[in-house]
Amino acid sequence: MDDQTCISFGKWCFKGRFMTLLVLILAMLIVAPLAEELIHIRMLMDIFWSAVFIGVIYAVSHKKRHILIAVLLVLPMLGSIWSSYFVKLSALGVVGGLCGAAFFIFAIIQILIFIYSQKKVTRDLIVGAAIVYLLMALAWSFIFAAVEGLHPGSFSLPEIQGISTSRSFLYYSFVTLTTLGYGDITPVTSLARSLSTLEAVIGQLYLVVQVAWLVGVHVSQSMLKRSE
């Protein structure tokens, strides 16, 4: 295989990175809970989390230093997830949660840089914009978990058998980001309320700005084609 073929193959693989990550996230949100209900394997959700982490690294792996930064951030998070089956350390959970949040924020920044550098609206661009929205929810779930770990009782959590705290915050983050506000999980402290408000505002602003930008790029693209 010559160098030109290798470069073309690499570009083809990298082009589908956002779709791969989207499938992994949706599988974690939908398939993992359904499978757990049927086969009752508690670690299945953590396996999907690990797959999502790998998918995110793949999505931002265009440069070697991005891979290095992403791996350094994700290792403490993976350590806190899998070590919980052997030992319960609240400090490790907090460090892992903060690193997990930083990991997703880093990925969001890199994907946004890619999105706003594009001149045409493509499928990859639209999927990337959707991925950013989902990664926001994932990042905030780790932030909320870290806050609860540092100050237990920051959130009023329902006592539901078989539902882990991390999964509760994942659910709460999506509910807050989309401003559904079911009210079954509520922030208690001032910090928890402020962070919840900030997530809701950022989520709505992102949708407004992103849709406006995509429409603007599409209009410019259409006008350019007509002028040609």
56 contacts 76 by C-beta, under 8 angstroms: no
203 contacts 133 by C-beta, under 8 angstroms: yes
Token look-up 């909320």 returns: 144
Q: Return the pLDDT at 81.
A: 86
pTM: 0.87
Q: Return the pLDDT at 1.
A: 46
Give the Cα separation of 31 and 127 in Å (integer): 20
Q: Roughly how many angstroms between the first and final C-alpha of the chain, as a whole number?
A: 38
46 contacts 77 by C-beta, under 8 angstroms: no
Q: Return the pLDDT at 183.
A: 83
Q: Where are the alpha helices (DSSP H) in the chain?
A: 3-15, 17-26, 32-39, 44-59, 64-83, 90-116, 123-150, 165-177, 190-227
Task: From residue 29, give the alpha-carbon distance in Å to each of 166, 187, 217.
Answer: 13, 23, 31
Q: Which of 42, 51, 58, 60 is nearest to 24 (CA)?
A: 51
Q: Return the pLDDT at 15.
A: 65
CB neighbours of residue 118 within 10 Å = 13
68 contacts 55 by C-beta, under 8 angstroms: no
Give the Cα separation of 52 and 33 in Å (integer): 15
Class of domain 3-227: mainly alpha
Q: Mean pLDDT by 10-residue block, N- to C-terminus, for the chain (228 residues)? A: 42 70 92 76 84 93 89 92 81 88 96 88 88 96 93 86 76 93 90 96 94 83 71
Q: Return the pLDDT at 12.
A: 45
Give the Cα separation of 7 and 141 in Å (integer): 37
Task: Provide the 8-state DSSP code for 119.
Answer: S
Beta carbons within 8 Å of 42's beta carbon, 6+ residues apart = 36
| Total length of the chain | 228
